[in-house]
Structure 1
Amino acid sequence: MQAKKRFFILLFVGACILLLLLIGGGPAHRSRMHRSGRHLGRSWQRFSDPLQPFASPEQPETDNHGMRRRRDADPGMYKGKECRMESCFDFSRCESNGFKVYVYPRQKADKISESYQNILAAIEGSRFYTPDPMKACLFVLALDTLDRDQLSPQYVPSLKAKVQSQPFWDDGRNHLIFNLYSGTWPDYTEDLGFDVGQAMVAKASISTESFRTNFDVSIPLFSKEHPRSGGERGFLKYNSIPPFRKYTLVFKGKRYLTGIGSDARNALHHVHNAEDIVLLTTCRHGRDWQRHEDGRCARDNAEYDRFDYREMLHNSTFCLVPRGRRLGSFRFLEALQAACIPVVLSNGWELPFSEVIDWSSAAIIGDERLLLQIPSIVRSVHRDKILSLRQQTQFLWEAYFSSVEKIVLTTLEIIQDRLLRHAARRTVMWNRLPGGLFALPEYSTYLGDFPFYYAQLGASQGSHLGDSGAGSPSPRQHQLWASSLWIRPQRKFTAIIHAVSPLLSQSQPILKLMAAVSRSLYCAQIIVLWNCEKPLPPAFRWPSVSVPVVVIEADAKVMSSRFQHSDAITTDAVLSLDEDTVLSTTEVDFAFTVWQSFPERIVGYPARSHYWDAAKQRWAYTSKWTNDYSMVLTGAAIYHKYYHYLYTYYLPPSLRSMVDQLANCEDILMNFLVSSVTRLPPIKVTQKKQYKETMMSQASRASHWADPDHFAQRQTCMNKFASWFGTMPLLRSQMRLDPLLFKDQVSILRKKYRDIERP
């Protein structure tokens, strides 16, 4: 009997221990399962019908049919594997000077690849850079950490000791490490060959298992030929309706015979039909591929040679992006640029900038195990959805991926948003034109304060813009949305008159201009920017007008002061005027009403253009009257005040210093900036009298406009600006807006349509 009791007691204790083990292990197991399918499930949850998930996010990423899951990162790779901003980042370093980035000085003995040089140059040319480590919030190594494949010629040996010896290393705290390639043949693990400690990692091909959410940054894999700045625009020139192309789905790339590689690539021949589905692989890569070739290699190689990759890329609706040796692939960026919708087959890959980019609006995230379902899935996508996806690929490519500089800046802006916390950019700012790089959160987090979101606000009626998280709108903003009072630019403008001549008489053009502008119903105030070397005139010398007049004294040697960000500007719209501009009140009113329809652009009267001088191999500036234009001079133009903020804080000091030294080109620089943001040309409006840059007065003859070197300087400026932007952002336009019943000075007898102005 006693033995029986002991048996039941032991049985009960054993059952309790087993139950405790199950309870303790269950949540951890479920958590691991959730993380393994996190990205796949998140991407598909936001994807609209008719597409359905390839597989449940709760399914494991391994199976019994030969599909291999990417191995976990080496346990020694991240000493701070559980790092988050709150636990492994010292916020106190950023309190005094804001988000500033310090790059360690380069040592002559250190070998640095061209790609890493471009990364460091992008940081040093950004608004975040500081040469003073004591002012730095974030540190970036001058040691090249991009390629950590031991078989690569770019591999830097003995990096572990060099990293540990950095003077501010502190176990990696407040450091950012860039990496494109990790691990080596045959396994290609994510080990960097040294312990990153508490440093953040900006890494290509990073897995969701290794990715430390809201700490690391997933960046795209880019080639050494990727442009340093600027970059080509997307290849989508126009939207064809219906939006289908010659091919439905294409791929052309390597097939791996040894070592870890994409098993999906080895199975592509099952889906390839050589008609609308063209999926090509080759065995010809590596030194000894012939030793490992299988019975299908000869046929695959022959089919591979039949098709031109670029022709396929530019003429396909969808582009397959399967993983290769690593999770990422060059095909991803190539597809984005070509407006070929990426179909990503790389289980466990944390997509680039996934923290801020909604990839469901630009790509299809598939499952490697369900390759055979891909053709039916892509064929079921509605043409409206195809058009939307394709347009988003172009926006994302141009906003974040077209150059090394944009990739680096996006990385830094994401980290800055983490520091700002409740004042960070909202999701819509990252995923709508012009993107997060131009919607600076230091200015505002409310969409209505930016000129390029007016249309977005009006179209959405605020339904999806009040997302939870940083920068959420206040109840007052919701009230404004509901009443639709916010769905328009402000109804007033601030006139800023740039004064460079002394005030000698009451008949000077500036006083007449102030009188004409003040009579406008839309004028809220006039700001006179006194940029003259003579002393400021007493208050009684200025005319008495119906609107407030504010006189601000500026440094006469600083031409950029006319675009200085100032709290004195109380309206969204700024009417920028030279002191000798001749405009009537009706012309001012007309320009402002036009601007209200195009609040993101420069709207004005004097137009100029640029062209490529093939003989001199440089950009040229012209003031000749032609059928098109690409600039509207700010001597008589209206634009949004946010561009003052960008001019002051986004552009590098070197460009503003150039403008100040030349006392010239500030209007060209502003046109470059606005066109770069909007990717649109300015808008010209027509006045009754021709705009004249100079008045035949003694003061004007002494101005900078009368300098004989003025035109040559503007030619130089064009090329300097284009070099910094990395491209020519100016776009030509032939659109001119005239007032209703406008009559020009040409005789009716000389006009083709003579009856149009007859009573």
Structure 2
Amino acid sequence: MQAKKRYLVLFSAGACLLLLFCFGSIQVQLSKRRLILRDARTHQPGARWSRSPGVVQSFSDWDQDISDDANGHISPRQKRDATPDSFSAQRCRMESCFDFSLCERNGFKVYLYPQQKGEKMSESYQNILSSIEGSRFFTPDPGQACLFVLSLDTLDRDQLSPQYVHNLKAKVQSLPLWNDGKNHIIFNLYSGTWPDYTEDLGFDIGLAMLAKASISTENFRPRFDVSIPLFSKEHPRTGGQRGYLKHNTIPPFRKYMLVFKGKRYLTGIGSDTRNALYHVHNAEDMVLLTTCKHGKDWQKHKDARCDKDNAEYDKYDYREMLYNSTFCLVPRGRRLGSFRFLEALQAGCVPVMLSNGWELPFSEIIDWNTAAVIGDERLLLQVPSTVRSIHPDTILSLRQHTQFLWEAYFNSVEKIVLTTMEIIQDRVLHHASRSNLMWNSLPGGLFALPQYSTYLGDFPFYYAKLGITTYPKFTAVIHLVTPLVSQSQPVMKLLAAVAKSQYCAQVIFVWNCDKSLPAKHRWPVTSVPVIVIEGERKVISSRFLPYDTIPTDAVLSLDEDTVLSTTEVEFAFTVWQSFPDRIIGYPARSHFWDSNKQRWGYTSKWTNDYSMVLTGAAIYHKYYHYLYSTYLPAILKTMVDQMSNCEDILMNFLVSSVTKLPPIKVTQKKQYKETMMAQSSRASRWADPDHFAQRQTCMNKFANWFGTMPLVHSQMRLDPVLFKDQVSILRKKYRDIERV
């Protein structure tokens, strides 16, 4: 009986082994068949760089169709799109790893941990923290915060780097607000170390978001992490230089077609593409240079090409190549990202991306097909024919878009940080997030605030793109700081002239006077509604508040002692309708660089040149009231209020920084200041000897905060005799201007 049982057990075991063997053979055959089919698909003649007419896309989209590799592994794209439950915290999304309730009470506010004594911090990380602290998102109260940023430097997690912070795991875990990283964001530029350069940061990030350079598509968590560019320690904190396309826009082709100059890695990760660049280099229009001279032991790995490559490398100046090439190759380095990326954008050199698996910077919001050629490292030899086949019109469009993206999101640490914050805010306030058009067209998402509106037609920048015409009326906002004592005061004459305009919808008086409001019967009766708003006393910025009582697109901003005729008002408004994103007005001023004092100067001298139009008599879009109140920091507005001066200069700084364009002066009203002084019942502030000294100070304070001088000089003046229509018609229509 026992023998029968033993035979039965042996027979069952044998049957199981036979089944397993057969099933395994079937699986192997299926894997081979999948591999054969995949190879046939990927090596067919049609598997080339794909481009639609006028739009440059990836070299090849066929890698998206490959679901399994030769060993049957899940592809990076499949992993990336997997559900959060499948991969736990590594697959975090906002819905699963972020506490939205922290943002509901106080909006999107960011808290910085206080810096711990004795902890070293790189200049780059200090710049990141300073950018957050100086932004409108910052709060010193963790109880009001929606997002938390560590004071521990996490930028360089290469263990061989002198900037590497040791024992970071224990330090992070000991933070009282850490909460396993929930609602935290960690900034990182370098991860991993020689020889494999993995993306491991050396500590458990828990449920925290990553703002990381060189992040791979495989490790990137869509709509949770943020891919940022790799930037050097010399990258400016604020301001940043403008792009270089303005110096060389036409023709679209430059001296070189494609250039690269950089290290050639002789061994290890990142060496494949750079070692093969010599196949494309022709020393004529394709100049791709590499050098072996880097690292301590490069001589040990020196190959037969090194001497020739090094000699060729030394012949060319990198900056000269960069600014004189149509395309710039951006291959991967040891890590996926490269400094060459930002350098190409600034130079207006169209980047040709060769870094497989790199999640491009700010990929969530930026359509990189409009500014770059995105390629596959395996198709390096197709680069020359591809870039030569791109139409000149497309090249010019690509180069222009590199300049927009550089200036909108990349030319300073502050822009990179603020873009990161705004992306996360759009996720948190999804109902009020920016559209793709806002992010990818001038002036960019940082100036198109969705809290103001999510309708593109409410922003002056998109009127032309959308074919929108302006509302055919304006609202006059008159700033009052002196009491009403007589019906013959200049402000009463101004009110009468403005109210007579056919384009005037209403008049708003902002009452900033120490005296109480006059009785209703003291105000003159006009054909348009007159609204009096009692502003906060001595708060001169209250004239630029985004009042709900302004129903029109256009705001005619006026000082109480301004002298304008109805005809002048109407002509200025007519001009504004053609330039709704600019300041249009009469009194012009200019800035200059004082080389002796090494500072910016302010002048009211009558010249052909100007860079500001004062808001004592100017028309602009009401959105700038919202930007002035929301975008600018409290420190600048407080300075303006304390001085009771410079608010007009600050508004010009703001509008020029948005548009990158000068204001527009209308007519030649030279005696603006003198006329006001002669007709005003009070001593004009223009007669104050401290007035210009204060304005000089303001100019430099503002330039310091903006990080650059945004004002743009112009010599254009629009005169009614020459504007738009035939001279004879305009002389009849605006004849009174000639008599002023």
User: How far apart are residue 452 of structure 1 and its match?
Assistant: 0.7
**Partner in structure 2 of residue 484 of structure 1:** none
1:157 and 2:166 matched:
yes
SS in 2 for 1:715: helix
Q: Out of 57, 60, 74, which is 1:53 matched to?
A: 60
Please list the CA deviations of residues 634-691 of structure 1 after superposition, one character each: whole Å capped at 9, or x if unmatched.
0000000000000000000000000001110000000000000000000000166731
**Partner in structure 2 of residue 600 of structure 1:** 581
How far apart, in 2, do the equivalents of 1:201 and 1:5 lie? Answer: 54
User: How far apart are residue 702 of structure 1 and its match?
Assistant: 4.3
**Partner in structure 1 of residue 732 of structure 2:** none
Q: Out of 189, 196, 200, which is 2:209 matched to?
A: 200
Match of 2:201, as an amino acid? L
Match of 2:472, as an amino acid? R
How far apart, in 1, do the equivalents of 2:722 and 2:129 lie? Answer: 57
User: How far apart are residue 735 of structure 1 and its match?
Assistant: 0.4
Match of 1:714, as an amino acid? R
How far apart, in 1, do the equivalents of 2:356 and 2:677 lie? Answer: 72
Aligned residues of 2:159 and 2:193 also touching (Cα < 8 A): yes
Aligned residues of 1:694 and 1:701 also touching (Cα < 8 A): no
How far apart, in 2, do the equivalents of 1:410 and 1:299 lie? Answer: 44
SS in 2 for 1:526: strand
Distance 1:191 1:5, change over 3 A: closer
Aligned-residue CA RMSD in angstroms? 3.1
**Partner in structure 2 of residue 181 of structure 1:** 190
How far apart, in 1, do the equivalents of 2:576 and 2:596 lie? Answer: 38
Aligned residues of 2:56 and 2:373 also touching (Cα < 8 A): no
- TM-score norm. by structure 2 comes to 0.89
**Partner in structure 1 of residue 151 of structure 2:** 142
How far apart, in 1, do the equivalents of 2:253 and 2:414 lie? Answer: 33
Q: Out of 294, 301, 306, which is 1:297 matched to?
A: 306
SS in 1 for 2:114: coil
Aligned residues of 1:604 and 1:637 also touching (Cα < 8 A): yes
Match of 1:580, as an amino acid? D
**Partner in structure 1 of residue 488 of structure 2:** 507
**Partner in structure 1 of residue 531 of structure 2:** 550
**Partner in structure 1 of residue 402 of structure 2:** 393
1:516 and 2:497 matched:
yes
1:231 and 2:207 matched:
no
Match of 1:588, as an amino acid? V
How far apart, in 2, do the equivalents of 1:351 and 1:164 lie? Answer: 31
Aligned residues of 2:181 and 2:206 also touching (Cα < 8 A): yes
1:260 and 2:269 matched:
yes
How far apart, in 2, do the equivalents of 1:45 and 1:81 lie? Answer: 36
SS in 2 for 1:151: coil
Aligned residues of 1:694 and 1:700 also touching (Cα < 8 A): no
**Partner in structure 1 of residue 479 of structure 2:** 498
Distance 1:368 1:191, change over 3 A: same
User: How far apart are residue 741 of structure 1 and its match?
Assistant: 7.2
Aligned residues of 1:668 and 1:718 also touching (Cα < 8 A): yes
Aligned residues of 1:51 and 1:380 also touching (Cα < 8 A): no
Aligned residues of 2:56 and 2:370 also touching (Cα < 8 A): no
Match of 1:385, as an amino acid? T
Match of 1:543, as an amino acid? P
Distance 1:49 1:674, change over 3 A: closer
Match of 1:520, as an amino acid? S
Please list the CA deviations of residues 523-557 of structure 1 after superposition, one character each: whole Å capped at 9, or x if unmatched.
10000111111111111111111110000111221
**Partner in structure 2 of residue 532 of structure 1:** 513
> How do residues 249-648 of structure 1 correspond to structure 2 at under 5 angstroms?
249-458=258-467, 487-648=468-629
**Partner in structure 2 of residue 33 of structure 1:** none
Aligned residues of 2:59 and 2:374 also touching (Cα < 8 A): no
Aligned residues of 2:252 and 2:392 also touching (Cα < 8 A): yes
- TM-score norm. by structure 1 comes to 0.86
Distance 1:497 1:194, change over 3 A: same
Please list the CA deviations of residues 211-256 of structure 1 after superposition, one character each: whole Å capped at 9, or x if unmatched.
0000000000000000000000001115544310000000000011
How far apart, in 2, do the equivalents of 1:42 and 1:162 lie? Answer: 48
User: How far apart are residue 258 of structure 1 and its match?
Assistant: 2.9
Match of 2:410, as an amino acid? F
Distance 1:128 1:41, change over 3 A: farther
SS in 1 for 2:353: strand
Match of 1:603, as an amino acid? I
Match of 1:57, as an amino acid? Q
**Partner in structure 2 of residue 213 of structure 1:** 222
Distance 1:708 1:569, change over 3 A: same
SS in 2 for 1:265: helix
**Partner in structure 2 of residue 34 of structure 1:** none
SS in 2 for 1:81: helix
**Partner in structure 1 of residue 729 of structure 2:** none
User: How far apart are residue 43 of structure 1 and its match?
Assistant: 10
SS in 1 for 2:421: helix
Please list the CA deviations of residues 323-347 of structure 1 after superposition, one character each: whole Å capped at 9, or x if unmatched.
0100000000000000000000000
> How do residues 718-729 of structure 1 correspond to structure 2 at under 5 angstroms?
718-729=699-710
Aligned residues of 1:43 and 1:365 also touching (Cα < 8 A): no
Please list the CA deviations of residues 352-386 of structure 1 after superposition, one character each: whole Å capped at 9, or x if unmatched.
00000000000000000010000000000000000
Please list the CA deviations of residues 95-122 of structure 1 after superposition, one character each: whole Å capped at 9, or x if unmatched.
0100000000011211000000000000
**Partner in structure 2 of residue 35 of structure 1:** none
Q: Out of 656, 661, 686, which is 1:675 matched to?
A: 656
How far apart, in 2, do the equivalents of 1:131 and 1:699 lie? Answer: 46
User: How far apart are residue 423 of structure 1 and its match?
Assistant: 1.7
Aligned residues of 2:55 and 2:370 also touching (Cα < 8 A): no
Q: Out of 666, 680, 687, which is 1:685 matched to?
A: 666
User: How far apart are residue 625 of structure 1 and its match?
Assistant: 0.6
Distance 1:41 1:519, change over 3 A: farther
User: How far apart are residue 58 of structure 1 and its match?
Assistant: 2.5
How far apart, in 2, do the equivalents of 1:566 and 1:336 lie? Answer: 40
Distance 1:119 1:52, change over 3 A: closer
How far apart, in 1, do the equivalents of 2:173 and 2:57 lie? Answer: 53
User: How far apart are residue 55 of structure 1 and its match?
Assistant: 4.7
1:116 and 2:125 matched:
yes
Aligned residues of 2:666 and 2:717 also touching (Cα < 8 A): yes
Distance 1:693 1:443, change over 3 A: farther
**Partner in structure 1 of residue 733 of structure 2:** none
> How do residues 699-710 of structure 1 correspond to structure 2 at under 5 angstroms?
701-702=682-683, 704-710=685-691
SS in 2 for 1:320: strand
Please list the CA deviations of residues 427-458 of structure 1 after superposition, one character each: whole Å capped at 9, or x if unmatched.
01000000000000100111100011111112
SS in 2 for 1:57: helix
User: How far apart are residue 53 of structure 1 and its match?
Assistant: 2.7
How far apart, in 1, do the equivalents of 2:674 and 2:175 lie? Answer: 56
**Partner in structure 2 of residue 105 of structure 1:** 114
SS in 1 for 2:262: strand
How far apart, in 2, do the equivalents of 1:59 and 1:17 lie? Answer: 23
**Partner in structure 2 of residue 469 of structure 1:** none
In structure 1, list runs of 5 or more residues that go unmatched. Answer: 31-39, 459-486, 743-756
Comparing 365-374 and 683-692, the one that deviates more: 683-692
How far apart, in 1, do the equivalents of 2:69 and 2:155 lie? Answer: 30
How far apart, in 2, do the equivalents of 1:519 and 1:41 lie? Answer: 67
Distance 1:374 1:349, change over 3 A: same
Match of 2:110, as an amino acid? V
How far apart, in 1, do the equivalents of 2:681 and 2:578 lie? Answer: 34
User: How far apart are residue 708 of structure 1 and its match?
Assistant: 1.8
How far apart, in 1, do the equivalents of 2:248 and 2:344 lie? Answer: 17
Aligned residues of 1:693 and 1:705 also touching (Cα < 8 A): no
User: How far apart are residue 568 of structure 1 and its match?
Assistant: 1.1
SS in 2 for 1:709: helix
The number of residues matched between the two structures is 692
